[in-house]
Structures are given as structure tokens and as C-alpha cells.
Amino acid sequence: MTALPQILSLARAGNPARAWALFHSSGWDVRTDDPKALTLKGRLLKDQANASYGAERGRLYGLAAEAYAAAAELERDSYPLINAAALALLGGKPERSAALAKETLALIDGDPGQGENPYWRAATRAEALLLLGDETAARAALAEGIAKLPYAWEDHAATIGQFELILAEQGSDATWLDRHRPPPSLYFSGIIGLDAADPTIRQDIDAIIERERPGFGFGALAAGADILIAEALHRTGAELHIILPYPVERFRELSVAPFGEHWGSRFDALVEAASSLDVLIEFPGEDERSLSLAVELADLVAMGQCIRNAAVLKSWPKALTITGRGDQPRRPYQIWSDTGHDQFTIAVVRQKDHPSTAVSSKAESKEVAAILWVDHADRNMLSALSGRGEAFRPAGDGHYRISTDPLDLLSTGRALLRHDASVRTSMVIDIMDVDAPGAALLEQASDIARASSGGAVLTDCKSAMVILLQSREQKVEEIGELQTASGPLPLWSIA
């Protein structure tokens, strides 16, 4: 019998079909005496409804509502009760929704302990009022809740997402929710060779930040533009999330110290102030990556982190870049532009009298690319897919294909899963020789695939962020950790 937390993890990993199959085969679907099982049943049915259309969608929302309502009958709690009320509306039963919403209000009024915290208590009241058609009171209750816990960004986002569904079902305008959304997330980047003493550069940065009011910044900390923008964000109280292509001291040595010790002290202060610091790790035994490729990969990851943070918070991702006048845009900037998200550019005169950032190396034989690894796949299916592109190469117990187009590889992985949902697949995006990938990279791809229970493509964190950057259609979720010889590796699912 599969435990409820394991089934919930599968649902969160974007594999609702397998989660429901295990829920059913384990007998949880017929349990009417366990509020946790009934609450999970409501969640799984809601997932199915979200993926359905028309009458079937409404039917599944109705079943989800009744599962939540049954859970609330067994254990009087406002969480399943308000979910039952909202889903009843989405299921086409407004009278049932109104009755459950009134019941929710009565429960909150009669039990001061209802609600996980003051915010959730007020947000639940606001949702019940919205379901009852009292939008004015709902707006006031939501504002009151946000004022009590103003920085509970993810909680606010969850409420906004639920309110959007309700307002859409009611045919009401949802733009008033925008004032309650968490602040935007900002990807920042730019050139090193600029005149940091030019006051207009700082004024331009400050003007954009004052206008857009980002609450979160994602980028590196090279001398020049990176540090100037990060300092401006820090002055406003925004969270800094730093992504470096090398370990801190090596990055400082390559991209900060050569341009003046004054940059070094500012770099150190920002590292200390950062809310998070991620370093892209090279594989054991690998030669140091060229600076240009390492920076490109770090840029892509930082952009993906920015987009994910904005999506989680139901807010907006934006980008700010400082370029040299007349410069051709680098590839990552074009990728961001293709997303359609806001992008702001400050063009400055590029200084030429500064030390080179180039790292001496042999002719570049590597590039940022993706590897799709497959275990337990039908060889005939692999052969058929090889007819659409490069053939799969055998390695150990599996097969792999490499491409500089991650979305094309992802499409191939999905075709395999449609053919056989038990196939174990993984994708890793990194810097590699596409003709002769390193053994450590192949081993990591194999290890990630073996951790799969089928039904989805698994990946690591940095690769998940690049996928999020390049496609809005992907559902990417963190599902746990994989213990490897070099330490724990966060696992993500691409559904």
C-alpha cells in the first residue's frame, strides 16, 4: 500500500495520472473515514479537472469539491471547507458553493484558532466572501490579511491564483488583484568595461528600479554593470539571488579583482548580503570551462530562476541589461527577448582600456547543449525516433542523444513516454563536447534517469531553470534529492 505522502509527491512532480493510479490501487479512493485521504483525493481530482475540458472538467471539479467537503465533515477545518466551496463553483454548482462558503464563515467566526496564521484566516474569509458575491468585503479582507503578513509572498500568490479562477468563473474583472501581487523579479547583467564614475549610469539604473520596484534580483557579480545594479537593488531592500559560473574565489579572481580592488570590496559586501548564492559546479576531472561558456550557462540559469520566482509568486519577470553602444546582443539576451517578458537596456560608452577577461585556452570544442538519457526503452522505438534526427548512442545500460536544442530533445523524451510510460528518462543541460561528452556527465544523466519511476523527464536544478526560460508551457517541479558520490543533487521533474 503506497503511503499518502508518496502519492502527493508524485502529484507535485507533475505526474497526476500515476498518482491517481497509486491512490486507487492502494484503496485510498474508497476510504471515507480518513480526512487526509479525502483531502488528497480532492487535490488529485482537481489536478485531473485542470487538465480536462468541457463537461468532464465540471464533473471532476464537482467530485473534488465533495471529497474536500467530506474531509471537512470528519475534521472541522477551514482549509478543506473553503476548497470545497471554490471547487463547487467551478463545478457548476453555485448554490452548493454559497452554502459551503457560509459554513466556512461560520466556522471562522466560531473558532479563533482556524487558519494556519493570521494571513490565512483573513484570506479564507476573503475567499468565502468572494464566493458569496460580496467583492467589496472580499477586497477589504484580503488587504487586511496581507497587511498582517506583508512578506508572505508565496501565501499571497496562492490566494491570487485561486481568486483568478473564481473571478473568471463569475465573469468578473480580476485586474484589482494586481495591486496585491508580490513585487516583480529582475534578471540583471551587463558589461564590465564602463565608466563607473559616470553619474548618469547610476541615475539610469535607479530610475528603472524605482519605476519597476523589483523585490528580487537574479544575476552574477562581475565588476561593472553587475555590481552597480546589484548595489542599487540592495539599497531598495530587494532580495539578491546570486548565480556564479565559478566558485566564489575563482570568480573574484577572474571577473572582479583585475578591474580594481575597489570592486573587490563591493563584491565581498554583496556576497555577504545575498539571500542565496548558487555556484555552477564543474564535473570532477574536467578542465576549467572557458569564461564565455561558463558565463553563458550562468546567464541562462539566472534568467530561469527569475522566471520561476515570478511564476511561483504570480508576479512578473523582467530583465535589466547594460550594454556597450553598438554592441551586438549576446545569445542569452536574445533568448530572453524571445520570451516576451519586459527587458530594459541601458547603453553606455564601452571603455577599452581595461584588463582582458579572456581565459587562455585551446580552440573551443565545447558548447552549451542538452543530453537526453533513456533507460529501459524499446529499441524499435529508439530506432524510429532516430529517423527524426541524430541516432541514439548506446552507453552502459542506456542510450542517449545530444542536441543544442533542449526543447527538441524534450519532445523526443515525451514521445518515448507516450509510447511507454514506464521508460526512465533524464535531461541534463551543461557545457559539453557534443561529439564526445565526458564520462562524469553521462554518469550523472544515468543516475538521474534511474531515480525515475516513469511518467516524466527528470533533471537537475540548473537544467530545469534553462527549460523554464525557453518554454512557458513546461510544468517543472522540484521533487527531492538524489544522493550521489559528490553529494546530494536536487531532482526536478519536467511534465
| Domain 185-348 belongs in CATH node 3.40.50.450 | yes
**pLDDT, tens digit only, all 495 positions of the chain:** 788 888 887 777 666 777 888 898 899 988 999 999 999 999 999 988 988 899 999 999 999 999 999 999 999 899 999 999 999 999 999 999 999 999 999 999 998 888 789 999 999 999 999 999 999 999 999 999 999 999 999 999 999 999 999 999 999 999 999 999 999 999 999 999 998 889 999 999 999 999 999 999 999 999 999 999 999 999 999 999 999 999 999 999 999 999 998 999 999 999 999 999 999 988 877 888 999 999 999 999 999 999 999 998 999 999 999 999 888 888 888 899 999 999 999 999 888 766 544 444 445 689 999 999 999 777 777 877 765 557 889 998 899 999 999 999 999 988 888 888 888 999 999 999 999 999 999 999 999 999 987 788 999 999 999 999 998 777 788 878 888 777 788 889 887
CATH number of this structure's domain 367-494: 3.30.70.1230
Question: In this structure, are residues 452 and 458 in contact, taking their beta carbons and an 8 Å threshold?
Answer: yes
Establish whether domains 4-180 and 185-348 are of one fold: no
- Domain range summary for the chain, segments of one domain joined by +: 4-180, 185-348, 367-494
Joined together, the cell numbers standing for residue 189 give 547583467
pTM over the 0.85 mark? yes
475 touches 12 (CB < 8 A): no
Burial of 294 (0-12, 13-18, 19+ CB in 10 A): buried
Note the CATH architecture for domain 4-180.
Alpha Horseshoe (1.25)
Sheet harboring 398-403: ordered strands across?
393-395, 398-403, 367-375, 424-432, 457-459, 487-494, 476-484
